[in-house]
A and B are shown apart, each in its own frame.
Chain A
Amino acid sequence: MSFVRDALTIVAVCAGIFFFLAGSVGLLRFPDTLSRLHALTKADNLGLGLIVLGVMLQVEGLLAALKLGAVWLLIVLAGAVVTQLVAAAAYPEEPPP
């Protein structure tokens, strides 16, 4: 059972690292602010989610796992808000919807 759990953790964390890498490549390679933000937030939120999932399988107790999940949710929230603010700052001339 612990073998299956370890294997799942390795797969999830590796997939998470892959998405982080993809997001970072996008940040460096994409031509404009909006697509860079897009690459960064989408890939990183997913990557972090996968890493959190992988680590959740390794911690003792439900409470610690829930805390990790809460950390992920808070980072997704902060990331989404900050991305919107950066985008609004990058395109100040856009009229409000």
Chain B
Amino acid sequence: MILAIGFDAGLAALIIGLAFWTIAAREAFAAVVAFVSLGLLLALAWVRLAAPDVALTEAAIGGGVTGGMLIAAAARGRAAENLPMPETAALHLRLAAGAVAILATAGLSWVVLSLPEPAPTLAPSAAAYLALTGLENPVNAVLLAYRAIDTLLETIVLLIALLAVWSLSPDRFWGGRPGLPQRKDRNGVLVFLARLLPPIGVLVGIHLFWVGSVAPGGEFQSATVLAAMWIVAWMAGLANPPPIERRGLRLLVVVGPAVFLAIGLSGAITADAFLGYPPDHAKLLIIAIELPVTLTIAATLCLLVVGPPQREPQT
């Protein structure tokens, strides 16, 4: 018991320390490294809170994919970092910014401290109706049945994020291949990894997808692992992203939300509610949604990491 409290206290102290370091670090790259470590420690904290589903997502997306994107952003911004710093802001501006930050922190602390004890919970009703969804993992039942609308909107948000990234491409590159051509790693270490890891990673990704209905896992975690495998191959120069004008690629990034929306709308007829499932076929319909959604999320995450088109359409 004391050991567990000591571990949790140490973990919390480390998380707060790293959070400070993420903000205080002078170089963007150091801040990103701290942020990725923060994500991994947060995943550990979620495990300690008995929320392995959240832990998996935090480690995969918060630490992994976001970290990769931030490293790319830091590398791009590195040239600007060496420019002479502009004058520091005026004192009254800094005081005002500090006051706003303190006010926000105080407000958040007040909200957290005034939460009712024990916290209101829907867990008993979530467990009571679990059988109707055909799933055994209550977290996935929340994501794909009780609060399917949130998940639907999340997949659409991802699509919008991808459009935002693509819209950064200059006109002459529109429709071309995203990202710069990758050099093959001259030492061959990355190439070695990119040949060895994907079979294992793809298996883990499929396992996470399939096990999601009964145990921690699901489409987001699975898609992130699958995306990571393609990203490793891309970084090693073994895989080339297709031009964004290709129809198959465009189909891939919309098929998830489209199928989700179609099944959700059909629920209005078969189950009397938008995003409702007839109880007899609930699990089948949920898998029919999860499969394309996983593919779409994986493809979108890959494309988000690769970035906007930077090559002419013909090449």
Contacts and interface: CB of A to CB of B under 8 A. Distances in A.
Interface stretch (B98-106, B184-192, B268-276): B184-192
B14 to A, nearest CB: 14
A81 B189 contact: yes
Nearest to B193: A81
Contacts of B189: 81, 84-85, 88
Interface string A69-97: 00000100110010011001000000010
Interface in A52-75: 74
Interface of A: 74, 77-78, 81, 84-85, 88, 96
B186 A96 contact: yes
Contacts of A85: 185, 189-190
A74 B200 contact: yes
Given A81-B192, A81-B193, A96 B200 contact: no
Contacts of B200: 74
A77 B186 contact: no
B196 A77 contact: yes
B205 to A, nearest CB: 14
Contacts of A84: 187, 189
A81 B186 contact: no
B197 interface: yes
Interface in B142-199: 185-187, 189-190, 192-193, 196-197
Contacts of B192: 81
Interface string B197-216: 10010000000000000000
A65 B186 CA distance: 37
Contacts of A81: 189-190, 192-193
Contacts of A78: 193
B203 to A, nearest CB: 11
Contacts of A96: 186-187
A88 B187 CA distance: 8
A85 B187 CA distance: 9
A55 to B, nearest CB: 15
Contacts of A74: 200
Interface in B70-107: none
Interface string B267-300: 0000000000000000000000000000000000
